[in-house]
Amino acid sequence: MLAGCRRALPAALGRALRGRAVSTSWCPVGTAFDAKQQQPLRGGAAGRDTGLFGVPELSCPEGFQEAQDKALQESEQLVQKACSTPPGPETVMIFDQLSDSLCRVADLADFVKVAHPDFAFREAAEEACRNIGTVVEKLNTDVELCQSLRRLLVDETLMSSLDPETRRVAELFMFDFEISGIHLDEEKRKKAVDLNIRILDLCNEFLIGAHIPNKIDKHVLPEHIRYNFTAEGNYLQVAGLHADCPDDLVREAAYKIFLHSNAQQLARLEELLASRNSLAQLVGYDTFAHRALQGTMAKNPETVRQFLEKLSEQLSKRTQKDFQMMTKMKMKLNPHNSMLMPWDHPYYSGVLRAERYNIDPGLYCPFFSLGACMEGLNSLFSQLLGISLYAEQTKRGEIWSEDVRKLAVVHETEGLLGYIYCDFFQRPDKPHQDCHFTVRGGRLKENGEYQLPVVVLMLSLPKSARGTPTLLSPGMMENLFHEMGHAMHSMLGRTRYQHVTGTRCPTDFAEVPSILMEYFANDYRVVNQFARHYKTGQPLPKNMVSRLCESKKVCAAADMQLQVFYAVLDQIYHGKHPLKKSTTEILKETQERVYGLPYVPNTAWQLRFSHLVGYGAKYYSYLMSRAVASMVWKQCFAQNPFDRAMGERYRREMLAHGGGKEPMLMVQGMLQKSPSVEDFVDALVSDLDHDFETFIMDS
Cα distance between the two ends of the chain: 41
Q: How far apart are CA 538 and CA 495, in angstroms?
A: 43
Nearest Cα neighbor of 25 from 11, 44, 9 is: 44
Nearest Cα neighbor of 322 from 553, 555, 564, 592 is: 555
Nearest Cα neighbor of 394 from 58, 49, 648 is: 49
* Strand-pair partners of 391: 27, 407
The alpha carbon of residue 96 and the mean position of all alpha carbons in its chain are separated, in whole angstroms, by: 24
Using DSSP bridges, classify how beta strands 450-451 and 405-411 pair: parallel, antiparallel or unpaired.
Answer: unpaired
Q: How far apart are CA 323 and CA 344, in angstroms?
A: 10
Helix (H, G, I), strand (E, B) or coil at 198: helix
Q: How far apart are CA 95 and CA 500, in angstroms?
A: 12
The alpha carbon of residue 64 and the mean position of all alpha carbons in its chain are separated, in whole angstroms, by: 25
Assess contact for 600 and 608: CB atoms under 8 A: no
Q: In what order do the strands lie in the sheet with 230-232?
A: 214-217, 235-238, 230-232
* 62 among known catalytic residues: no
Using DSSP bridges, classify how beta strands 26-28 and 214-217 pair: parallel, antiparallel or unpaired.
Answer: unpaired
Burial 527-559 (b: 16+ CB within 10 A, else e): bebbbbebeeeeebeeebbbbbbbbbbbbbbbb
Burial 47-57 (b: 16+ CB within 10 A, else e): eeebbbbbbeb
Rounded-to-10 torsion of CA 244, 245, 246, 251: -110
Residue 588 backbone zone (phi > 0: left; psi -120 to 50: alpha; other: beta):
alpha
Nearest Cα neighbor of 77 from 145, 153, 140 is: 145
Tell me which of 483, 511, 648, 662 is the catalytic residue. 483
Q: How far apart are CA 329 and CA 320, in angstroms?
A: 14
At 109, give phi and psi (nearest 5°). -65, -35
Length of the chain: 699
Helix (H, G, I), strand (E, B) or coil at 399: coil
Calculate the alpha carbon distances from 348 to 342, 364, 578 in Å: 11, 21, 38
Assess contact for 390 and 407: CB atoms under 8 A: yes
Q: How far apart are CA 695 and CA 595, in angstroms?
A: 27
Assess contact for 418 and 20: CB atoms under 8 A: no
Which residue type, as a one-letter code, is found at position 253? A
Catalytic residues: 483
